[in-house]
Structure 1
């Protein structure tokens, strides 16, 4: 098994994920959120969409077997494994404005939005192209009244979610920066890319990158 890479607390990265590869997002210490974005590598105007996903999956509680769809109604990521079962696809990445609104007595931080914008800029993705992220491990209960709350994640050390790319993607991924989302503390997020298995007697495709 490939050793996971680490995203330091309150930071983010971007990388390519090829069709068929599996992204495993791991919470190494527990109670930490990771914001996840996915764009088509062929056209970054195509991006994951919470509205399309909720529509086609007919649920807001996304877990093993569910698909994350694009704004152009194409499958982007399929959830293959999930040891937590509670994630959020309603709330936007935290930002400078988030901190001003919810944490006026705390130091201002650029948040996941700023981290994603910086990491995705080399791929030609602007701030205005950042949508609602799929917030791995984020715990956002929905009351019968419709009111939302942000509670500490229920993820424990070593919990993970695995997502298979259904097309070539550009991934943005963070270790979330907001106090409420992570139970008041900030920890790293680990991740690894698992290559698809090759067929018997079929040589592995050489990496041309």
Structure 2
């Protein structure tokens, strides 16, 4: 089909309606072929290509499932309280308050206000990282020859900058991120060992405990030793559900977690959100 003219370009673009690519958002999300919930509850369905990013605002109680489709995805995630972006994911407090550097089901993703942004409610992989953050322009340029967003080896921070800008945030608003699907362990001497992926189809599910801005970059982990830029598709699905409440096993799983949930509940109640 000729695209040299405006009419030809328009006709070509319209002819793509209904076409599907390996990595793309599905709109409406309810058209996703195999939703993990009642079809009407699905609010976000997307496959993010390796070396790409995505973002979304999610309501409190929404459950977000990330899946490493082929075994070489790495989801670098940032969370912000929607409307209050100064309350954001704090990886240091997430690790320190819970006495644990390793994210598993039951882990709380905390802000520096002592409140819960999201809860890890399910995890089939166990290979995650709350210590290293994501890759940078300087590092990727040195390692792969380029780290700009439009290159074949974009850095995670550069992609997160773009996602942030689309939500009214600036580069200075980017704290260290959490990485899912590529793990790191701390040796007795303090050296970080890269443990790699749990393999294809590993998934992790987060529950939003506040209204959230979610930023995700799917790029290689900064400690990945492979010489080639290796990043495969990431599946992102989200559906309406309910936040964690008293009586849920997670609420009283630890004294520190219970305090964080109570801090969150008190704050939201004062704002008229019960």
Larger helix share, 1 or 2: 2
Is residue 249 of structure 2 the alignment partner of residue 194 of structure 1? Answer: no
Is residue 132 of structure 2 the alignment partner of residue 132 of structure 1? Answer: no
Counterpart contact for 2:106–2:120, Cα < 8 Å: yes
Moved more, 184-193 or 174-183: 174-183
Structure 2, unpaired ranges of 5+: 1-34, 36-41, 149-154, 243-274
Is residue 167 of structure 2 the alignment partner of residue 123 of structure 1? Answer: yes
Does the residue aligned with 1:181 lie in a helix, a strand or coil? Answer: coil
Equivalent residue, structure 1, for 2:110: 69
Note the C-alpha offset of 1:177. 4.0
RMSD (Å) for aligned C-alpha atoms = 1.9
Is residue 76 of structure 2 the alignment partner of residue 35 of structure 1? Answer: yes
Counterpart contact for 1:140–1:151, Cα < 8 Å: yes
Note the C-alpha offset of 1:86. 2.1
TM-score scaled by length of structure 1: 0.86
Aligned mates of 1:17, 1:29 — CA distance in 2: 26
Count of residue pairs the alignment pairs up: 193
Larger Rg: 2
Q: Which consecutive aligned stretches of 4+ in structure 1 deviate over 6 angstroms post-superposition?
A: none
Aligned mates of 2:163, 2:45 — CA distance in 1: 19
Structure 1, unpaired ranges of 5+: 198-209
Is residue 193 of structure 2 the alignment partner of residue 149 of structure 1? Answer: yes
Does the residue aligned with 1:99 lie in a helix, a strand or coil? Answer: helix
Aligned mates of 2:52, 2:225 — CA distance in 1: 14
Counterpart contact for 1:7–1:188, Cα < 8 Å: yes
